[in-house]
Chains A and B, each alone.
Chain A
Amino acid sequence: MNADLAARLSLLALLLHPVGAWPERAGLLALAGVGLLSARALASTTLWLGVAALAAVRVLRDWPMSDNHAYLLVYWSLALGLARVSAAPEASLARNARLLLGLAFAFASLWKLGLSPDFLDGRFFRVSLVVDERLAPWGRWLAGVDRDSFDALRDALARHVDGPLPRPLELPALPDGLARAARLATAVTAALEASLALAFLLPWRRLAALRDGLLLVFCAGTYALAPVEGFGWLLVAMGVAQCDPARRGTRWLYLAAFVLIGLYATLPWDALLAGASSRR
């Protein structure tokens, strides 16, 4: 039952957020539609191997610019297809979903804690909350300054530079609220993702509630800030697949998270946060 629900959510995500250039996009939409309308197709290995193949074509076509969740879609649809031919489809999919989630967060943690030179010292959030258009509505709200001041800060950070500047640049100061939020976001993100990696990779059954709780918190928080709903829906589908079937309430929470992520993607954050700022 969890496997079918996870499969349906994965296809629904592809319908709601089509991916790839038109040939593979058309193919993925067709397979998603067929899988959602026909229970027999949903349970077919061929359908899922088709999804995996088209998702792989998308990664190859975009190489080397693909986002990380484009790869995750390939692995996940392959897991859905292979589970259908295993002796215990539910258990096979649950195990693969748990391991894929664990590995995704382990690699995310490896980047944040080990490889990236500018995450742990807070630079990533201090800069991205200002210059990344996806995060800027929150940056403007956290900064608590007027739009012109915020835009001046963004222009200074995003200026075109070849080599070092001839003399130190006089940058507008980062507002205190923004700097504090960046420090908090850095610490919480690093701790949460490392905890998720451990919780999902360690095989102990008693971690089931912790896994679900951490993943639901991650989805409910992250996708309000980062409008990457396709990634969030993929994580929710995998969360459902690995969820203990006895934990029916948790399954409902995953469904609520799926809806919430979709809602986040449709909200006019800029206008809402600008309104909240003006009331402060």
Chain B
Amino acid sequence: MFSTTDGWGARHLHAYALRPGLRRELALPDELLEPVRRALAAPTEARLRALAEALAEQPSPDQGPLEAIELQVFARRYDPATLAPSGELLRGLVVRFDER
């Protein structure tokens, strides 16, 4: 009931594909919007791992083997005095694909 500024709608997620010599931020495709929202609401390891595996299946313009997908979930915080926003890393996870 309207208790905090922190809700899944005020969080955001970054995803990166790691290849040899390359770290590229991934655009989150529309078909993964639901899993992304769920990961924002409750960024558990299982949920982030499933999302990373789904992102690894996406076509990529980059060459070279996919080494890992890195995911970061941020929450927006506000300074109590000035209200200046900052991003707090709630959870980060690197899911490796080169060791499989």
Contacts and interface: CB of A to CB of B under 8 A. Distances in A.
Instruction: Say if A and B assemble together.
Output: yes
Interface of A: 63-65, 68, 104, 108, 111-112, 115-119, 121, 123-124, 126-128, 156-165, 168-169, 171, 174, 189, 193, 226
B91 interface: no
A68 B3 CA distance: 12
8 contacts: A118-B6, A123-B78, A123-B83, A128-B5, A157-B85, A163-B87, A165-B85, A168-B84
A64 B1 contact: no
Interface secondary structure of A, over-half rule:
loop
B15 to A, nearest CB: 13
Nearest to A169: B84
Interface stretch (B16-24, B37-45, B52-60, B61-69): B37-45
A111 B1 contact: yes
Contacts, number: 85
Interface of B: 1-6, 8, 12, 14, 37-38, 41-42, 72, 74, 76-78, 80, 82-89
Contact of A123 (B72, B74, B80): B80
Nearest to B39: A64
B12 A123 contact: no
B87 A116 contact: no
Contacts of B86: 161, 163-165
Interface secondary structure of B, over-half rule:
mixed
A118 B87 contact: no
Contacts of A171: 82-84
* 3 tightest A-B CB contacts, nearest first: A111-B3, A161-B87, A116-B4
Contacts of A169: 82, 84-85
A157 B80 contact: no
Contacts of B42: 64
A189 B6 CA distance: 18
A111 B82 CA distance: 23
Given A64-B42, A104-B1, 12 more contacts: A65-B8, A65-B38, A68-B1, A112-B3, A119-B4, A127-B5, A128-B2, A159-B85, A161-B85, A163-B86, A171-B83, A189-B2
Nearest to A193: B1
Contacts of B84: 165, 168-169, 171
Nearest to A159: B85
Contacts of B72: 162
B8 A118 contact: no
A118 B1 contact: no
B14 A65 contact: no
Nearest to A107: B1
B76 A161 contact: yes
A18 to B, nearest CB: 20
A64 B43 CA distance: 10
Given A108-B3, A111-B1, A118-B5, A162 B83 contact: no
